[in-house]
């Protein structure tokens, strides 16, 4: 079901609002806006991604952790968008004891809570990965849901830049294990300290002005240098006429910031040298440069070259809690959209260093770094790149003719399953033709017919539905095709599983 269908369904439903819990005549069968149902193919794609990535993350020494769906709202605190109402941005409700709790908005806040709660007994540094749904109470739209699956890996308790490098290298390996072609994902790395150093050098000291600069740079992808120049200065009027107030930098400072964002290049060492020219000198800038140099060395030791992880000073990452390195995973796959226009997938994840999150609970600054990606988004990218799971195959269907012979059909299905081949007995009440249609609809490789003749002769009839579908796609004369009865064979019962294996291997 497409998101737009969901929306219209629930809009219709909203017209006839009903009080909750009363027993309505007949509730409409629909899901809340922004929540979707996923069937076999999508489920299989996401499971394949999570299984591959979990394998990689565990090989890098990260342990799995699962936390509950709810956290106390005060524990989510900083992660919530600014709002007066507790229901804004998150799904929140009041518990029996009147405390507010909310469904997790991401997987970082629960980790911070968990780490703070168990710090004494955890191995340090603590490395964990996690995946699962997160919930955002926002307006849904095409491709924008209120529930989606994220997959995160974080190291808590290491201040070393090598911990960042490791997360980056592992993310690259994870994305490739999930099915992305080598080089299709590029991790672009920056460091907040460079930006801070640059601003100090440019005379920007007020927090609000710093944030305005960050916000302006963050729009580089969308607005280009000219738009960002306006936002760094007095401000910018968009197409709709709305005016966004700028950061108020003078022209020289704005150019300096723009030069900084343009210092990225394929080669990490070359970028570092350019950056040293622009931000070198301020203590914080130098610290950021030293961290990036250590990240570069570790990435090199890990065999991750600049075609998979590069320095890009234009990367900001919206969230304000990052304190050092920040990274963004960009998909370089170019695919076409529904209208056949070339499109780039863009960012599928990112992360960075956040040294203040655990301190919210404990008061002790605890260095941490992590990477997160959207699982459904990666699945969509793999689909667009032609790397998706094949459509889910249905089981072999044993045709049911005669109520009194059901036990025989079950015994045949059991035999097929014992050979590792999915199989079922048709359990509806329709005739032969509808049963064949059912098997075809399920993308079953074959139907097995065990009629009276077959039972008497110790044989089975196997119909190769894959072949049937293939021919149906090619042969215009359907009647002639049906006449030939392609791929239907009657064989001794003992040869059944071997015959099915041949069909599956050919499919």
Round to whole Å and give the CA distance between 35 and 81: 21
Helix segments in 233-374, DSSP class H: 251-261, 268-279, 283-301, 359-362
Phi and psi at residue 281, to the nearest 5° = 115, -50
Site for a second copy in 272-311 (CB under 8 A): 294, 297-298, 300-303
Nearest to 293 by CA among 200, 201, 164: 164
Instruction: Give yes or no for residue 422 binding a second copy (CB under 8 A).
Output: yes
Least separation in angstroms between CB 349 and a second copy: 21
For residue 395, state whether it binds a second copy (rule: CB under 8 A): yes
- Shortest separation between residue 356's beta carbon and a second copy, angstroms: 13
Alpha-carbon distance of 311 to 300, in angstroms, equals 13
Write b or e for each residue in 260-295: b if 16 or more Cβ atoms lie within 10 A of its Cβ, otherwise e. Answer: bbebbbeebeebbebbbebbeebebbbbbbebbebb
Stretch that binds a second copy, among 81-89, 183-191, 343-351, 496-504 (CB under 8 A): 81-89
Q: Which residues within the stretch 202-261 sit at the binding site for a second copy (CB under 8 A)?
A: none
Q: Which of 241, 340, 428, 458 binds a second copy (CB under 8 A)?
A: 428
Q: Of 311, 384, 324, 393, which Cα lies nearest the Cα of 348?
A: 384
- Write the DSSP assignment of 227-238 as a string of letters: HHHHHHTTEEE-
Token representation of residue 114: 């968990």
How far, in Å, are 301, 336, 366 from residue 190 at the CA level?
A: 19, 29, 21
Choose between 22 and 341: whose C-beta lies nearer to a second copy: 22
3-state DSSP assignment of residue 131:
strand
Least distance to a second copy, CB of residue 279, Å: 23
Per CB under 8 A, 33 contacts a second copy: yes
Token pair recorded at residue 12: 């219709």
Tell whether residue 69 is a contact of a second copy (CB under 8 A). yes
Distance (Å, whole) CA 433 – CA 404: 20
Piece in contact with a second copy (CB under 8 A), picked from 23-31, 176-184, 197-205, 247-255: 23-31
Which residues, 331 to 360, sit near a second copy by CB under 8 A?
Answer: 360
- The CA R_g of the chain, rounded to the nearest whole Å, is 29
Tell me which of 28, 221, 267, 307 binds a second copy, using CB under 8 A.
Answer: 28
Nearest distance from C-beta of residue 15 to a second copy, angstroms? 10
Among 262, 273, 406, 467, binds a second copy (CB under 8 A): 406
Nearest to 325 by CA among 181, 196, 174, 496: 196
**Minimum distance from CB of 120 to a second copy (Å)?**
12
When binding is defined by CB under 8 A, the residue of 67, 200, 244, 335 that contacts a second copy is 67
Strand partners, 135: 147
Out of 220, 425, 447, 450, the residue judged to bind a second copy by CB under 8 A: 425
Query: Least distance (Å) from a second copy to the CB of residue 227?
Result: 32
On whether the CB atoms of residues 155 and 369 are closer than 8 A, the answer is yes
Q: Where are the alpha helices (DSSP H) in 302-419?
A: 359-362, 375-384, 406-418
Kindly tell me which residue out of 8, 12, 18, 141 binds a second copy, with binding defined by CB under 8 A. Answer: 18
Residue 108, C-beta contacts closer than 8 angstroms, at least 6 positions apart: 79, 152, 154, 354, 357, 370, 372
DSSP conformation class of 60: T
Of 65 and 499, which has the nearer Cβ to a second copy? 65
How far is Cα 502 from Cα 487, in angstroms, rounded to an integer?
12
Query: Among 252, 427, 479, 480, which residue sits at the site for a second copy (rule: CB under 8 A)?
Result: 427
Q: How far is CA 289 from CA 278, 311, 329, 355, in A?
A: 11, 11, 21, 18
Chain-centre distance of CA 256, in angstroms? 36
Q: Which of 386, 420, 458, 473 binds a second copy (CB under 8 A)?
A: 420
Q: How far is CA 18 from the centre of its chain?
A: 35
Q: Please give the residues from 362 up to 391 whose contact with a second copy meets the rule CB under 8 A.
A: 362-363
Residues binding a second copy: number (CB under 8 A): 120
Which of these ranges, 32-40, 176-184, 319-327, 329-337, lies near a second copy under the rule CB under 8 A?
32-40
Instruction: Return the sign of the alpha-carbon dihedral for residues 214, 377, 144, 76.
Output: negative
Site for a second copy in 87-126 (CB under 8 A): 87, 91-93, 95, 97-101, 103, 113-114, 116-118, 123-125
Of 150-158, 216-224, 447-455, 498-506, the window that binds a second copy (rule: CB under 8 A) is 150-158
Omega before 125 within 30 of 0, i.e. cis: yes
Name which position in 52, 133, 332, 343 contacts a second copy (CB under 8 A).
133
433 binds a second copy (CB under 8 A): no
Measure the CA–CA gap between 318 and 190, rounded to whole angstroms: 13
279 or 423: CB nearest a second copy: 423
**157 touches a second copy by CB under 8 A:** yes
CB of 410 to a second copy, least distance (A): 4
Nearest residue (CB) to a second copy, 42 versus 328: 42
Tell whether residue 135 is a contact of a second copy (CB under 8 A). Answer: yes
Q: How near is the Cβ of 500 to a second copy at its closest, in Å?
A: 13
Residues 436-465 that bind a second copy (CB under 8 A): 438, 441-442
CA distance 215 to 235: 12
Which of 201, 423, 450, 496 lies at the binding interface for a second copy (CB under 8 A)? Answer: 423
* By CB under 8 A, residue 199 contacts a second copy: no
Among positions 37-66, residues that touch a second copy (CB under 8 A) are 37-40, 42-44, 47, 58-61, 63-66
Q: From the CB of 83, what's the least distance to a second copy, in Å?
A: 7
């Amino acid at each position: 079901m497409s998101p737009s269908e969901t929306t219209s369904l629930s809009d219709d439903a909203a017209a006839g609002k009903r009080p909750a819990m009363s027993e309505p005549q007949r509730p409409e069968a629909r899901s809340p806006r922004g929540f979707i149902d996923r069937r076999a193919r999508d489920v299989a794609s996401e499971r394949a991604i999570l299984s591959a990535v979990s394998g990689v993350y565990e090989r890098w020494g990260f342990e799995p952790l699962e936390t509950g769906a709810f956290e106390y709202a005060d524990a989510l605190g900083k992660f919530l968008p600014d709002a007066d109402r507790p229901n804004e941005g998150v799904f929140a409700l009041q518990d029996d004891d009147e405390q507010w709790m909310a469904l997790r908005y991401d997987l970082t806040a629960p980790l911070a809570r968990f780490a703070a709660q168990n710090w004494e007994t955890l191995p340090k540094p603590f490395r964990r990965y996690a995946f699962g749904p997160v919930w955002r109470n926002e307006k849904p739209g095409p491709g924008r849901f209120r529930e989606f699956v994220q997959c995160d890996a974080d190291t808590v308790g290491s201040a070393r830049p090598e911990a960042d490098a490791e997360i980056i290298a592992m993310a690259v390996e994870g994305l490739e294990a999930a099915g992305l072609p080598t080089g299709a994902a590029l991790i672009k790395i920056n460091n907040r300290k460079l930006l801070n150093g640059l601003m100090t050098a440019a005379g920007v000291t007020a927090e609000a002005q710093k944030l305005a600069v960050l916000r302006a740079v963050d729009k580089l992808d969308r607005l280009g240098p000219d738009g960002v120049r306006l936002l760094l200065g007095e401000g910018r009027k968009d197409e709709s006429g709305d005016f966004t107030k700028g950061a108020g930098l003078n022209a020289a400072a704005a150019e300096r910031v723009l030069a900084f964002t343009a210092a990225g290049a394929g080669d990490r060492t070359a970028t570092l040298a350019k950056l040293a020219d622009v931000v070198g000198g301020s203590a914080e800038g130098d610290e950021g440069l030293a961290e990036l140099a250590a990240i570069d060395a570790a990435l090199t030791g890990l065999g991750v070259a600049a075609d998979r992880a590069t320095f890009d000073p234009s990367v900001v990452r919206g969230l304000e809690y990052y304190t050092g390195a920040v990274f963004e995973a960009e998909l370089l796959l170019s695919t076409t959209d529904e209208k056949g226009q070339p499109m780039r997938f863009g960012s599928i994840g990112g992360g960075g260093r956040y040294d203040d999150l655990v301190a919210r609970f404990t008061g002790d600054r605890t260095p941490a770094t992590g990477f997160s990606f959207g699982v459904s988004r990666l699945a969509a990218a793999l689909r667009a790149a032609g790397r998706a799971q094949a459509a889910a195959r249905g089981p072999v269907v044993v045709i049911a003719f005669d109520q009194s012979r059901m036990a025989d059909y079950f015994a045949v299905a059991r035999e097929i399953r014992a050979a590792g081949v999915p199989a079922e007995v048709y359990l509806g009440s329709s005739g032969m033709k509808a049963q064949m249609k059912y098997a075809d609809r399920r993308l079953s490789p074959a139907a097995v017919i065990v009629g009276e003749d077959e039972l008497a002769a110790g044989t089975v009839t196997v119909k190769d539905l894959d072949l049937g579908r293939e021919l149906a796609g090619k042969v215009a004369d359907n009647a002639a095709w049906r006449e030939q009865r392609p791929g239907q064979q009657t064989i001794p019962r003992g040869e059944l599983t071997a015959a099915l294996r041949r069909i599956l291997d050919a499919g």
